[in-house]
Amino acid sequence: MTTRTETQKGDRIEQGTPVTVHRYTAAARINHWITAISLVLLALSGLALFHPSLYFLTGLFGGGPLARIIHPFIGVVLMLSFLGLFARFWKLNLWTRTDNIWLGRVKDVLAAQEGSLPEVGKYNAGQKLVFWSMSILIVLLFVSGIVIWQQYFSAYFTIDQRRIAVLSHSVLAIVAICVWIVHVYAAIWVRGTVGAMTRGKVTGGWAWRHHRRWLKELAKRKPEADPTSSTPAE
C-alpha cells in the first residue's frame, strides 16, 4: 500500500538562519492572485447590481452599464484561473482520517493549542474545507451565470429557468463571499500564511508548527533545486 505524498514539485528546504521552506512556486502564486483578484472584482460588481443601496459600487467599474457588461467576463477569468488552481492542488486536498481528528479538536485550533493536534500535511482540514467549498461554489456560480448571461445565452433558456438561476446565483454568491472572508481571516490570523502566498516561502519553525508532516516528508526527500542542501535542522 502506497502512502499519498504531501509535497509538490518546487517544495524544498533551504538551509540558513533561519531555515527557509519553499511552499509555493511563482506560477502557483500568480495563479492564486489572479483568482483572488477576480473573486474580489466579482463580489464588488455583483453586490453593486444586487441591491440599490450598493449601486454606488458601480463607480469602480465606470458605471452601471459597464459593471453589468464586465461582470460575466470576469467570471470567465475566475473560472479559468480556478481550474488552474484546482489542477495544482486537488490531490493535496483529498480528505484523510487525520482531518477528522483535526476537526474534532477545533477548539484547540481556535485556542492556538497546536500541541494537541495531529500532524498535518501541506493543508489542514480547515484549508481543505475552504478549497472544496470554493470548488463547488465557483462551478455552480459559473453555470448559473451562463444561464442569466442574456447577451449570449438568452435563446437557450426559458424565463423561469433564468429566474431560478438569478436566485441561485445570488444565494451562492453570498455563501462564496462568506467562505472567502473566513479564508482571508484565517490567513491573517495564522501569522506567516500571507507571506507564504506573496513570497512563496515560510520559516522552518512555521512549517514545523503548522504543517509538520509536510515538513518531515520534505526533509526525507532529495533536494530538487539546491544540490548542496542536506537534511534540515528543525
Q: What is the pLDDT of residues 26-51, one digit of tens each?
A: 999 999 999 999 999 999 999 999 99
Determine the CATH number of domain 27-89+124-184: 1.20.950.20
Task: Output the pLDDT for position 232.
Answer: 42
Residue 223 has a pLDDT of 56
CA 142 – CA 144 distance, rounded (Å): 6
- Residue 183 annotated to the active site: yes
Long-range pairs of 225-232 with CB within 8 A, sequence gap ≥ 24: 225/10, 225/12, 226/12, 226/14, 229/12, 229/13, 229/14, 229/15, 230/15, 232/13, 232/15, 232/19, 232/204
**Whole-number pLDDT of residue 109:** 82
Residue 122 in contact with residue 8, Cβ under 8 Å? Answer: yes
Residues of the chain with pLDDT under 50: 1-2, 225-234
**pLDDT value for 234:** 37
Domain locations in the chain as residue ranges: 27-89+124-184
What pLDDT is recorded for position 224? 52
Q: Which of 22, 32, 183, 211 is catalytic?
A: 183
